[in-house]
Structure 1
């Protein structure tokens, strides 16, 4: 998720939205996943660096082995301590190689899952204008960004028929992947807004998010316990609000597909158990 602090606007009170606590928990899970992925990549880099450092030790061990195989007399010069060090070094090298392989396999599996998910989403939305819908991967999660001109009339939170079509496709993907959680974010430009019961852009962004959540739940059967609705207002722009094009880009809805963090932990833990 892009840099910046998530702003949760108000508590959502309908059956299809969740509490501020649930939204915070989901954001914490995303941050934890991001941190764990970064930590894992650092550990993998450290393992690879350590492996380079022991290359000289490997050369030494090979030299000793060569002497042992080709000159039995060398055994008399190999002390008990050197023999023990040789055995420990070989075991340590073997264990380190297995750890590197485990970390690589976990990261490769995670990347493969994300690639398959993005491919299925783009395939389902293949006939949609790329200017209206964009699919991307950032920090281990998948983002579906939909322009508000595709979903709503200006200043409205009532979905049009075209929006129902694309949300139906997203719902089919979500229902086929019950291990994913969904975060629906409403975004606006910075033009002041007030109409009827809506006080500002915060209110408008929340209403648009909850409108989408209700459709996913009521029309397409997505489990509401997997969905969080959030309004981000004007505070996470992707373009300058100084131009009409920039303001149009900022008026959008993002559906974030979040993998459960336990799955990545399990991949690593299972690999580590195999080392024992």
Structure 2
């Protein structure tokens, strides 16, 4: 789908044709789908973290059940041992009475048989309890192992995103103070580039300095194939009055996002399937449009890097 969207926008740019209402609506619809997909990925990550917490609680409950079962087993064991001691006492009494009374011998014999029957019942109950405990222990071990693996994967993803943020910050160090920031939030890396670094006013052609920054970013992305990359174009709320090929700020922001995608794709190490371009117009400001400084901050490209969660999702399905 991303290839189709990029293809449509590139063809539109090459032939410099006017953007019709139909095309605009199609772009708007495709952007909405991309936005829902991005939100779905955020929801998936939140759901995965919630599921991890739920599994931890389930593990604690299973452990409590296991401890209770151990206590019950110990109680059965004590009762069993008491019955054995009682049996031994009765057996001794039987031996003594055997010399004195055949009637007493018959009574003791009956009692002994009853005690033996009780002992056999307790032995069977203990055997069943041991089997239940063994099964419970195996289930606890398996769940604990899967939770450990899940926590390890989540920690590895977080560590990878921190390392990625560090690598990008290092690669783009020369552009600090020129309208470029790099930060990590909620397990994602956000690279914000103000338009003064990338574009002339009303243009979607990337300048030499901006091209250099994007290509250096592409070098880092080419070394991280398991990262989803969303490129968002943003504008201030001033109405667009430039090239008649564009219908407004939303169209301009889309073309600017696509221009960044095209530069990234010059790096053959980057998988096009990892890239998504979206235009958001003036509808996601980061500052007030009431001042020139605020407008400058709102005119930007945001590159949002998200880890792919296929391994974590598979492990959760196995729990």
Partners of 2:63 and 2:140 within 8 A in 1: no
- SS of residue paired to 1:14: helix
The residue number in structure 1 matching 2:137 is 90
Q: Which moved more, 1:132-141 or 1:234-243?
A: 132-141
Mark the CA change 1:173 to 1:16 in structure 2 (over 3 Å): closer, same or farther.
farther
The residue number in structure 1 matching 2:257 is 209
The offset of 1:224, in angstroms, is: 4.3
Mark the CA change 1:93 to 1:227 in structure 2 (over 3 Å): closer, same or farther.
closer
In the alignment, structure 2 segments of 5+ residues that lack a partner are 14-25, 84-118
The offset of 1:231, in angstroms, is: 1.4
Query: Which residues in structure 2 correspond to 1:22-37 (within 5 Å)?
Result: 27=35, 29-37=37-45
Greater C-alpha radius of gyration = 2
Alpha-carbon separation, structure 2, partners of 1:12 and 1:230 = 13
Alpha-carbon separation, structure 2, partners of 1:184 and 1:172 = 16
Q: Which moved more, 1:230-239 or 1:103-112?
A: 103-112
Alpha-carbon separation, structure 2, partners of 1:91 and 1:190 = 61
Mark the CA change 1:56 to 1:174 in structure 2 (over 3 Å): closer, same or farther.
closer
2:55 alignment partner, one of 29, 33, 47: 47
Mark the CA change 1:250 to 1:95 in structure 2 (over 3 Å): closer, same or farther.
same
| Matched length | 261
Query: Which residues in structure 2 correspond to 1:71-220 (within 5 Å)?
Result: 73=81, 76=119, 77=122, 79-80=125-126, 81-130=128-177, 132-197=179-244, 198-218=246-266, 220=267
CA offset digits 1:204-258 (Å, max 9, x no partner): 212222222232234x445545433221100111122222222221111012234
Alpha-carbon separation, structure 2, partners of 1:59 and 1:258 = 41
Partners of 2:48 and 2:313 within 8 A in 1: no
In the alignment, structure 1 segments of 5+ residues that lack a partner are 1-8
Partners of 2:180 and 2:193 within 8 A in 1: yes
Partners of 1:67 and 1:74 within 8 A in 2: no
Partners of 1:16 and 1:214 within 8 A in 2: no
Higher-RCO chain (CA-CA 8 Å, sequence separation at least 6): 1
The offset of 1:103, in angstroms, is: 2.0
CA offset digits 1:51-96 (Å, max 9, x no partner): 3334543433444566688897269446255444433332332233
Q: TM-score, normalised by structure 1?
A: 0.77
Q: Which moved more, 1:110-119 or 1:252-261?
A: 252-261
2:295 alignment partner, one of 243, 247, 252: 247
- SS of residue paired to 2:183: strand
The offset of 1:31, in angstroms, is: 3.5
